[in-house]
Structures are given as C-alpha cells and as structure tokens.
Amino acid sequence: MKKKTSRSLKRKSMTRKPLTRQQRAELTALSALPDSAIDTSDAPEVLDWSEAKRGLFYRPIKQQLTLRLDADVIAWFKRSSARGYQTRINQALREYLNWRQGKRSGSRRTGSKTPQDFAIKGR
C-alpha cells in the first residue's frame, strides 16, 4: 500500500471540512423536499450562456509515475521554460491523444495537427 505524503493529507484537510450536524440536518431536510417546494429565488436562472467557459473547474486526476524520455526531449521542454515543463509535456501528450481519437472517428478538423507537428525538430 502506498503511503500518503503529508502534503496531500494537508491539502485534503484544508479543502474538505466535515459537515456540522446542522448542515447535515439541512441537507437531509432539503433532499426530502420535492423540487417544486425548494425556493430558488436567490439563484436566478441563467439564460445567456455565451460567456460560459467549458471545463473551467475540471481537474483530471493525476497519476505519478516514472517515465524514461530521451534527454533531448526533456531538454527541449525545459529550455522553452524551466517551470512547468512537466505540465507542457502532459499538454503535448493530451493534444496527440485528442488528434488520434479524432483520426479514428474520421472527423479531422481544419487545423488539426499531424504526427509531424509533434516531432522534435533538429533530430
């Protein structure tokens, strides 16, 4: 079994406070009510979604692993900006994954990247 680090435990304890008895009682009472009986007047219905941003609060689950990459690949990502190079490697892999999934479904969008776009130049 993998031991949790104090950092991850600290972060969880900061963001997930246990509910008080009163809060649990309110939630139980609300869940028993029919939708028509719940007063939502303080939260008006949003009719204009043109400014909405999809996936703004979505954070995929990360998995830590050891991965062997060519030294020049890592150097290229670090050279472009030392901070956040792992995030940018993840973004490149995600773009490639999305491209591959689009290719399988036969719906290549205009401006889609090809495998050559992902190749490291100068090799």
| Furthest C-alpha separation in the chain | 67
pLDDT score at 47: 86
Asked if residue 108 lies in contact with residue 60, where contact means CB atoms within 8 angstroms, the answer is no
Q: Provide the residue range defining the domain that includes 103.
A: 70-123
pLDDT score at 97: 93
In a domain, residue 90? The reply is yes
pLDDT score at 2: 52
More reliable by pLDDT, 80 or 66: 66
Buried b (16+ CB within 10 A) or exposed e, 13-47: eeeeeeeeeeeeeeeeeeeeeeeeeeeeeeeeeee
In a domain, residue 41? The reply is no
Task: Give the total number of structural domains in the chain.
Answer: 1
In a domain, residue 4? The reply is no
pLDDT score at 108: 46
For the chain, what is the mean pLDDT? 79
Identity of the amino acid at 6:
S
pLDDT at 118 over 90: no
More reliable by pLDDT, 76 or 17: 76
More reliable by pLDDT, 97 or 105: 97
The helix or strand, by DSSP H or E, that contains position 98, with its residue range, turns out to be: helix 85-105
In a domain, residue 21? The reply is no
pLDDT score at 27: 92
In a domain, residue 14? The reply is no
Tokens of 81: 């900006």
In a domain, residue 108? The reply is yes
In a domain, residue 13? The reply is no
DSSP class of 37:
G
- pLDDT tier at 21, thresholds 50, 70, 90: very high
Whole-number Å distance between alpha carbons of 47 and 115: 41
**Residues making up the chain, counted from first to last:** 123
